[in-house]
Chains A and B, each alone.
Chain A
Amino acid sequence: MPLPYYVSPEQIMKDKAEYARKGIARGRSIIAVEYRDGILLVAENPSTLLHKTSEIYDRIAFAGVGKFNEFENLRIAGVRHADLRGYAYSRGDVTAKALANAYSQALGSIFTQDINPFEVEVLVVEVPDRNGGKNEIYHILYDGTIEDEVHYAAMGGQAEEIRQVLTENFQEGMTLAQALQLGVRALTVTQNKALNPSDLEVAVLDQTRERRKFRRIGAEELKQLLER
């Protein structure tokens, strides 16, 4: 009987991480940027039907990059988590932090226990209620690593370069149009062509709205905002 090859645990983890990172790097990027009235999500996504950003709960939104079926799975899990919690307790008790932790646990255990890790990264963002407080941006990686980011976040293919642009140009209190233009500029930095509005998926958590803060920005409004 031939002996099974010995592979060290470090090597296994390294291989898995490499596998996940490659998968994610192939995908297009998403950014989240704070603006005056909330948080803006901009994704490069030519499809108008298959979304990368989504509403989770009143003040919480989700964005995912990588393999669609995997982050879609996570998105629905998030909606379920939030709705169950909000029904069992109250709407105010649903928090991005709890959800981000659940994602982190789930991705972490999949990464260590399954042969193939999920090739995804997700963002969970939350705007505060009217009583004040700060925006929250959680970035969860394929292995369950969780980071809370301040003011902006980027993930996907060329996240490093994009983050660089955001770091250099981010200002507090930007209008929606300014934030959007910065976001689009950041997404274009890794490409040699300009992005068409039809290639973008844009959504906001808008604090000025009533209960449900999430809103998608349609093609017409997007065009106007980009021209401003």
Chain B
Amino acid sequence: MHESWRSGFANYLTTSFVDLLRAESPHLLPTFVTEGEAEVPPIAIPHGTTILALKCRDGVVMAGDRQATEGFQIAHRRIEKVYKADETSAIAIAGAAGPSIDMVRLFQTELEHYEKVEGENLSLEGKANKLAQMIRMNLPAAMQGLVVIPIFAGYDDKTGQGRIFMYDVTGGRYEDLDHYATGSGGKDARNSLKRLYRKDLDRQEAVRVALEALTDAAEEDVGTAGPDFVKGIFPSVKVITRTEFEEVPEDEVRRISEAIFAQRREEAAS
């Protein structure tokens, strides 16, 4: 008891939760490596679809639809794809749902662990790099078809503005200056973001642009769901500014979605 306590407890080399997990309980690390040849899993697994982020005047807006798709079937209608990472940043996930959610949980714990041990927050850049390392860790699984592609965004105290980071499967980290979308409907969402985005959108406008883009993605992509007025399922939208992490309330999202649909009906009729 005594020796193991010391080895685990007295070691100051790391403030990283992932390293701690690797040393203490490697079986809890979210890795899905199987022996032998890399191959696509024979079973269909749920995939999260469209997520996006765009900058606004005071920070950054992130949004995602709520559907997970399993082959040609809908796996879940109310899955959450945009998560609070900490007080000033959020992570949105597209790709294999299971590993994605594990990665989010590990990432959230990593940030909180660092904050508690060190007594201060990692910089936004540091968080983005940490996430890149986690995606790289997932590479063997990605080769077998369990791809996880997040977007990470937050408010950067050092530069005084919102920042958006995107990734590829190998953990490559890139920064986008204005807006980005990914997932199965990502291309369509990117197109409408390109069309609607301008610099200095205020919060209200940016939320609307995000919802327009998701609605466009849902129109073009079978994997993405638009707002569902019958079941009352709406995209999740988060706004991050210097002072606040805000989850946009569902009735506001409903109201804006209704306005978008009303406008489109009008345009179609005329």
Contact = CB atoms under 8 A, between A and B. Distances in A.
A113 B5 CA distance: 13
Contact of A83 (B1, B109, B119): B109
A88 B28 contact: yes
B112 A83 contact: yes
Given A83-B17, A87-B28, A77 B9 contact: yes
B106 A87 contact: yes
Contacts of A113: 2
B268 interface: no
A207 interface: no
B113 interface: yes
Contacts of B112: 83
B117 interface: yes
Contacts of B117: 76, 79
Interface string A86-97: 111000000000
Interface of B: 1-2, 5, 8-10, 12, 17, 20-21, 24-25, 28, 105-106, 109, 112-113, 116-117, 119
B24 A84 contact: yes
Nearest to B27: A88
A224 B112 CA distance: 30
Given A54-B116, A79-B116, A88-B25, A73 B109 contact: no
Nearest to B106: A87
Interface of A: 51, 54-56, 73-74, 76-77, 79-80, 83-84, 86-88, 105-106, 109-110, 113
Q: Which 10 pairs between the two chains have the least Cβ-Cβ distance?
A: A77-B9, A109-B2, A79-B116, A83-B113, A87-B109, A106-B5, A55-B116, A79-B117, A76-B117, A88-B28
B9 A87 contact: no
Given A55-B116, A73-B10, A87 B21 contact: yes
B113 A79 contact: yes
A51 B116 CA distance: 12
Contacts of A87: 17, 21, 28, 105-106, 109
Nearest to B115: A55
Contacts of A109: 1-2, 5
Task: Give the secondary structure class of B's interface.
Answer: helix
Given A86-B109, A87-B105, A80 B2 contact: no
B116 A56 contact: yes
21 contacts: A54-B116, A54-B119, A56-B116, A73-B10, A76-B12, A77-B5, A77-B8, A77-B9, A79-B113, A79-B116, A79-B117, A80-B113, A83-B20, A83-B109, A84-B20, A84-B25, A86-B109, A105-B1, A106-B5, A106-B9, A109-B1
Contacts of B113: 79-80, 83
B122 to A, nearest CB: 15
A54 B120 CA distance: 12
B11 to A, nearest CB: 9
Nearest to B113: A83
B106 A80 contact: no
B9 A73 contact: yes
Contacts of A79: 113, 116-117
B25 A80 contact: no
Interface centre among A54, A76, A87 (most CB of B within 10 A): A87
A77 B116 CA distance: 11
A84 to B, nearest CB: 6
A88 B17 CA distance: 12
B102 to A, nearest CB: 10
A24 to B, nearest CB: 20
B88 to A, nearest CB: 14
Contacts of B28: 87-88
A56 B105 CA distance: 18
Nearest to A76: B117
Contacts of A51: 119
Contacts of B106: 87
Interface centre among A79, A109, A110 (most CB of B within 10 A): A79
A105 to B, nearest CB: 6
A218 B2 CA distance: 38
B109 A80 contact: no
Contact of A84 (B2, B10, B21): B21
B81 to A, nearest CB: 20
Nearest to B87: A212
Nearest to A105: B1
A56 B21 CA distance: 17
B229 to A, nearest CB: 30
Nearest to B9: A77
Nearest to A51: B119
